[in-house]
Amino acid sequence: MTGLSKMKVVLLSYTRDADEICAAAGRSCYSEKPADEIIGTGNPEKTLNSIVGMGHYSVIEHAVFTFSVSGVSRSLTHQLVRHRVASFSQQSQRYVSLNKPDYVTPHTIADDPEISEIYKKAMEDIWDVYSKLSEKVPVEDARYILPNGCTTNITITMNARELLHFFALRCCERAQWEIREMAEEMLRLCKEVSPTIFRDAGPPCVTGPCPEGEKSCGHPKRVKKH
């Protein structure tokens, strides 16, 4: 299920040769030579499968990825910032005045013309009050009227270990649709530049059984294919 959002996910910066660097860091633990002397000499896939497979996830913390995300709702970012092993810089509602209605419309609302009209009208009313309040009180107080659906921009930096954890939780069918859409796009971008580290990334059902028990979506085959 998707919504009408202007979501844009850009991989701003990332550790070049992340697979090679993490593999060299891993092999340096068992070598007389330092990472700079063994980088590029082994098979990164074999090394990472072996070391990370043993649970030494710290090796992939050497790879860092920064994303610029825009056109998503505050509802999404409220969930996103619960991930503590990450760095965030979010557009301020104290310093940036949101002059015109700018919000995400969930698919379920957009698909129903009657509900969609009610939603749109409510948003326009909210922004009308916001703009009246902004003339009388500081923007940081006027913003109390703004909704969860209000759009925002955020810059996210996570290392590969945290990203694997984030993708396991947020690419799962059980995750809320908007954050799942963003996580799936982040994963696609990560796979392009670091195919080994992110090869099996995604919800747990991609590589093993679903841990969600009774709350499982019940479609592991479909999720895996997706």
Q: Which residues of 62-166 form beta strands (DSSP E)?
A: 64-73, 87-90, 151-159
Q: Which is nearer to ligand FAD, 84 or 225 (CB)?
A: 84
**Shortest reach from residue 220's CB to ligand FAD, in Å:** 16
* Residue among 71 and 204 whose Cβ is closer to ligand FAD: 204
In whole angstroms, give the CA distance from residue 28 to residue 97: 51
- The H-or-E segment that residue 177 falls in is helix 177-193
Site track 29-68 with ligand FAD (rule: CB under 6 A), x = hit: ----------------------------------------
CB atoms within 10 A of CB 50: 14
CB of 31 to ligand FAD, least distance (A): 29
Position 46, amino acid: K
Least spacing, CB of residue 174 vs ligand FAD, in Å: 4
Is 82 or 100 the residue whose CB approaches ligand FAD more closely? 82
Cα separation, 79 vs 143, in Å, equals 19
Q: Pattern 66-105, binding to ligand FAD, x per CB under 6 A?
A: ----------------xxxx--------------------
CB closer to ligand FAD, 18 vs 164: 164
**Residue 170 annotated to the active site:** yes
Rounded to whole angstroms, how far apart are CA atoms 40 and 213? 42
Q: Which residue in 103, 129, 131 sits closest to 116, CA to CA?
A: 103
**Read out DSSP for 147-206?**
-TTBEEEEEEEEEHHHHHHHHHHHSSTTS-HHHHHHHHHHHHHHHHH-TTTTTT-SSGGG
Give the separation between CA 165 and CA 198, rounded to whole angstroms.
11
The reply on whether position 226 binds ligand FAD by CB under 6 A is no
Residues numbered 170-189 forming contacts with ligand FAD, rule: CB under 6 A: 170, 174-175
Q: For residues 67, 69, 73 and 78, what is the CA-based torsion angle, rounded to 10 degrees?
A: 20
Fill in the per-residue mask, 141 to 170: x = in contact with ligand FAD (CB under 6 A), - = not in contact: ---------------------x--x---xx
Give me the least distance between CB of 93 and ligand FAD, in Å please. 22
Q: Residues 27, 170, 174, 222: which is the catalytic one?
A: 170
How far, in Å, CA of 6 to CA of 4, rounded? 7
Distance of closest approach, residue 171 Cβ to ligand FAD, in angstroms: 10
- Nearer to ligand FAD among residue 85 and residue 137 (C-beta): 85
Active-site residues, by number, are: 170
Site for ligand FAD, rule CB under 6 A? 82-85, 162, 165, 169-170, 174-175
